[in-house]
């Protein structure tokens, strides 16, 4: 295992509340955090794009910039071989099965409102304006604004207040 892969594995282990053991595998400290290895693979695939600039309504064919749903599309395709399609966050919300916030697992898609979508009533799919990937420990891996692809906390602040729901694509 090269140094870059080990560092990426260690970063995931820290974010997931895990420990990294020789061989580079992360083991979850609690069963609540543990998820399928496929969820971790989706996160690893997404981490390849950390820092990639955000661009609303990106092309879906050029990975030099991404919007939120293009980012999740590539992470799922590259990490799990699952094609989410080229639709936006609302389209992705319609896939998989809905899960409660208290039952989130690594690799679940998490959805948020934006300033533009807050005008729609709670419970309306139109309220969704943003998507990311749940990374464990109340963290979301996603892209928006300055800094592009990044981790953010869902524990408080904007992402906590604007959380709409989640879907599980992975088994």
Which residues carry out catalysis?
A: 68, 130, 142
Partner residues linked to 13 by β-bridges:
none
Q: Where are the alpha helices (DSSP H) in the chain?
A: 3-15, 37-47, 68-80, 89-93, 158-161
Nearest to 147 by CA among 9, 52, 65: 52
Measured CA to CA, the distance from residue 56 to residue 86 in angstroms comes to 14
Measured CA to CA, the distance from residue 55 to residue 66 in angstroms comes to 5
**How many other CB atoms are found less than 10 A from the CB of residue 135?**
27
For 164, residues 6+ apart whose C-beta sits below 8 A from its C-beta are 111, 112, 113, 127, 128
């Amino acid at each position: 295992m090269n140094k870059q892969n080990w560092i990426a594995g260690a970063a995931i282990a820290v974010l997931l509340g895990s420990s990294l053991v020789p061989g580079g595998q992360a083991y979850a400290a609690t069963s609540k955090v543990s998820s399928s290895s496929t969820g971790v693979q989706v996160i690893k695939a997404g981490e390849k794009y950390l820092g990639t600039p955000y661009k609303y309504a990106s092309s879906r064919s050029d990975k030099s910039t991404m919007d939120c749903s293009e980012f999740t599309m590539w992470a799922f395709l590259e990490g799990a071989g699952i094609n989410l399609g080229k639709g936006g966050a609302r389209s992705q919300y319609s896939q998989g099965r809905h899960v409660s916030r208290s039952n989130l697992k690594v690799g679940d898609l998490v959805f948020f409102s934006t300033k533009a979508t807050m005008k729609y009533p709670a419970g309306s799919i139109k309220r969704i304006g943003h998507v990311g990937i749940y990374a464990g420990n109340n963290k979301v891996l996603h892209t928006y604004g300055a800094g592009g692809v990044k981790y953010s906390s869902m524990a408080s602040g904007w992402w906590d207040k604007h959380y709409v729901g989640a879907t599980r694509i992975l088994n």
